[in-house]
Every structure is written in C-alpha cells, then in structure tokens.
Structure 1
C-alpha cells in the first residue's frame, strides 16, 4: 500500500509539473541571435512571460490614459442605478445614467472619477464614485523587422520589452539583436531608443528592459 501511495503521489506531481509547463509558449528554434537557443535565456523568458488577464486597475493606483474600446466600471456608492460598466466609444466618450455623454479617452481613471463626481453633484450632495479599468483594449504596439510574428499587438496590461518579445514569437535567425531601435512619440516628436537585447538578458543592462507605451514601434534589423 505504501508503495502504491508513493507511485500515485509521484504521478500526481508529474502531472502537475506537465500542466504547469503547458502555459509556457514553445518558441521556434534559432541560432545564437535568438533567445530560444540558450537554455538560460529560455528560463529567463519563462519567468518573465506576461499573463494578459483583464485585471482591474484601481483608479487611485493607475496613471493609465484611457482610450477607445477600453472597458471601465463606474460605481456610485449606494446608487446601483447610477453604476454601470461601459466601453469607451470610438469618439472617446462614454454614456452614464443622469450625466449622459462624457469624455473619457485622454483621461486617467482618477481624472474621469473626479469629472463624474462634479457632474453628479447636480443630483447628489456628496457622491462617492469609484472608477475601475476592467479591460485595456486601446494599448497597441508595433513590431517591424526580424521577429517571428511582426505587426500590431494589442496589450491588456503594462508590458516590458522582453515580455513583448515573447508575444511575437521571438527573433528570426537573421535578427541583429544588439541593434534594436524603439520609436516613441513624445511631445510631438519622435524619439529613438537603442536596445541591446543581449546586454539585457546577460544582466549588463537591466534598465534596458523598458516598459512599452501606447503606440511604440520596435524595429528589429
């Protein structure tokens, strides 16, 4: 009986490990330019691979700028009839009970919450309002060049450069991973940021694993 229990326990553990491994994407093999050929790089990528659930972002804990197609929940304390969950429309607005249409795109959830409170004071003396971002659908970045799956990526949460690389399947065998360029629009101008992938994964440049912003374009020569 003891032997049976040991065997059964071993099978359960093995089953658990196989299931756990199943969540890690298996990427195409490549040469020493791609991260898949190096066991250490594979372990690193498995540890940083992003989960992309629609985790709620509390209004007072996020400076995320709302955009069209984002899903937000507006809760008015003790007033369920005024509480609702809505998508930001393509015109950047949402429609709320009593208030009607209201601009949401371009605001943080905190700013939107404050705007709603001001408008509700016409009907309630001290409205208590909470705004939660339920889904981020307007956060897109672009990959161009020597990655397995170039193109547009829609993100649902903050994502680092290394995490984004896993989403496009890694580099091709021709990628010059020491000469990656990130293009970012800031204050009406285009900024070019150099990224050396090998320095990041080797630990020589941990700060190079920057967080990506809406509209970023990653060029992999």
Structure 2
C-alpha cells in the first residue's frame, strides 16, 4: 500500500514537472504559428497587389501618351491640312519653343499635343485661315530617367519615354517584395524654374514628397493615387516596420522604428521643423492592422518640446504630417523678396 502510494506521488510530481516544462514550448509554438500566419497574410496581400499591378500594366497601353506634356528635345510633326506648306517637323528647343511658319516662335513646353493643336488653330484662325484643321504628332520623345528603390524586386534607374505613372514604374521594377510596407514615397526635385529662382543655401530646394497608400492604389483601385511621373522623380517603397514623417520638415521620409519612438524623436530624425511649419497642428495618421480604418490624431509639437504636453509613442506605419503655417509662409515670402531686391544674405523674421 505504501509502495503504491509512493508511486502515485512520484507519478503526479513527474506529470506536474512535464506539464510545466511543456508550457513554454506550447507558448513558443503558438507564437511561431501566429508569426507564420502573419507572413502568409502578408504574402497574400503582396501577391494580390502584384496581380493588380500586372493587369494595370497590360490595360494602360499607349493611352497615357495623350496626356504627355511636351518638353525640350521632343520631335514634333505638325500638320495643317488646308495648307501643305505649313506642315513641319520641328525639334523643341532647350527653352521649350518651336519656330513655325506664319506664327513665329511659339512656347510649347508643358502643353499636351491636344492643347498645342488648339493653340496653333487659334493663332492661324486669327489672321490667315478659316477653321483650320491641325494635327500634332510626337515623333520622338525625350528620355526621362526615373529611379525606383526600396522594397521592389528589381530596383534601379529606368529610362522611359512619354508619360509614365507610378503603376508603370512599379511594373517595370518587377512588382513589390513580400517585405514591402503599405506606403510609397514619391520624391520630386524642384523644377528648373524654381531652382533658378532659389538661392543656393535655401532649404526649400528640397524635393517635394508625395505619400501614396499602396493598398488604396492597388487593391481598392483608387486611380487618383496613380500620379504621373516626371524626369528626376524617385519612387521609394520602404519595408514594413517604419514610421513616416512628411510635410514641413527638413528631411521627409521613412525611418526605422525602434522599440520605442516618440513623436519628437521622429521629427528630429526628419531634420527638425522648417521655419514655415505649423508644429501646433501636427497630425498622426494611424491605420489599423488591416489597413481599413484610419485614426487622425493632432498634437502640439511646440508644447511637447517645452514639456507642457506628453510626447506620444508612435506605432508601426504611423504617418506624421506637419502642415504649413500661412503666416510663416507669408513672412518667408517677404524674406525672399528682401533678399532678392536688396541682396541681403539672411533675414531673420521673428513672430
């Protein structure tokens, strides 16, 4: 009887030990299963996006050329059906002009072929022809260099002709990788006219940044997000696990989120606020895990910096946008006017 009792106690003790030992293993297995499920879900999401991308690249065809904006070095074939002598093939000059019979020098840069047809028709109808029929054909497109980087299968610099869009370039780059995040950044350098007007030390020469929701573009089919691209544009698809800072900061972009990152730390990583920033109206756009629900939070960065408000922690894939202050933008314009008119190197304007 004593022996059987002893065996029962030892057996019970062994069972308790084994169940205690197996508990962490079960937890680890559950955690591993959850991680695999997340990876499968992410893989499905990216696969669906790439399928949409492939279909859109097939359907786009050459229709985008209708919206193409004429630029320097394009070769134009201009036909006027009523007067054959007015037909001409011309190369657009570096200034964006062409020289046409009867009309003379005409600025064509930035016009679509259809807009140029209307312009030539109007000028000829003023003095020379009644209801002329004009056709503009682009025989040669200038090459545009657009870069695609980040979490795509074939990143690189692409030489393209004609009007191209974000979908076109993502397709040319082989589609998204499985570790891609939900957002795409389009960085656009200042235009030539803007660069010539700005002084060398001006911080406003930084690229313009557009933030595109990839699920909105590829899954929901919101073609308003499919922006046209121009020479010098850079597309960046960051990997997931980042926060994004844009608007009136000095170096907008995506930043790797550590275990704990606050709003003020993210703004420091983005180079700090510009003079024209309205830091008191800073917005955090926060998406749910499925990407369907969006929460918008407003914070006063100035109050946080002075310790009057708590510095909030950021979540993965948060988007921080610092808007522009109307008053500060006006004062910045005044500063630039003084600098241009009187040759003043730096003007400090206090509020």
Q: TM-score range by the shorter chain?
A: 0.5 to 0.7
| 2:174 aligned residue | 169
| Contact in 2 for aligned 1:68/1:137 (Cα 8 Å) | yes
Indicate the residue corresponding to 1:79 in structure 2.
Answer: 83
Which consecutive residues of structure 1, in runs of 5 or more, have no partner in the other structure?
1-30
CA gap 1:35/1:75 in 2 versus in 1, 3 angstroms: farther
Distance 1:104 1:195 in 2: 31
Residue number in structure 2 paired with 1:18: none
**Which residue pairs with 1:19 in the alignment?**
none
Gaps of 5+ in 2: 1-39, 195-203, 239-351
- Paired residue secondary structure (2:120): helix
Does the aligned pair in 2 maintain the 1:67–1:106 contact within 8 Å? Answer: yes
User: Which moves more between the two structures, 95-104 or 119-128?
Assistant: 119-128
1:151 aligns with 2:157: yes
Alignment of 1:19-168 (within 5 A): 38=47, 40-50=48-58, 53=62, 57=66, 62=67, 64-109=68-113, 111-113=115-117, 115-117=119-121, 120=124, 124-126=128-130, 128-135=132-139, 136-137=141-142, 141-147=146-152, 148-159=154-165, 161-168=166-173
State the Cα deviation string for residues 3-54 of structure 1 (Å, max 9, x = none). Answer: xxxxxxxxxxxxxxxxxxxxxxxxxxxx98789972x445423311155559
Larger radius of gyration: 2
Q: 1:67: how far off?
A: 0.6
Distance in 1 (CA, whole Å) between partners of 2:90 and 2:73 is 9
Residue 194, structure 1, aligned to residue 200, structure 2: no
Report the Cα distance in structure 1 between the residues aligned to 2:160 and 2:94, rounded to whole angstroms.
16
- Hey, what does 1:180 align to over in structure 2? 184
Secondary structure at the aligned position of 1:91 is classed as coil
Query: TM-score, length-normalised on structure 1?
Result: 0.59
Do the aligned residues in 2 keep the contact of 1:180 with 1:195 (CA within 8 Å)? yes
Match of 1:212 among 211, 221, 228: 228
How many equivalent residue pairs? 182
Deviation at 1:78, TM superposition (A): 1.6
Bigger relative CO (Cα 8 Å, ≥ 6 apart): 1
Q: CA deviation at 1:154?
A: 2.0
Q: CA deviation at 1:130?
A: 1.7
- Larger % of helix: which? 2
Q: CA RMSD in A?
A: 4.0
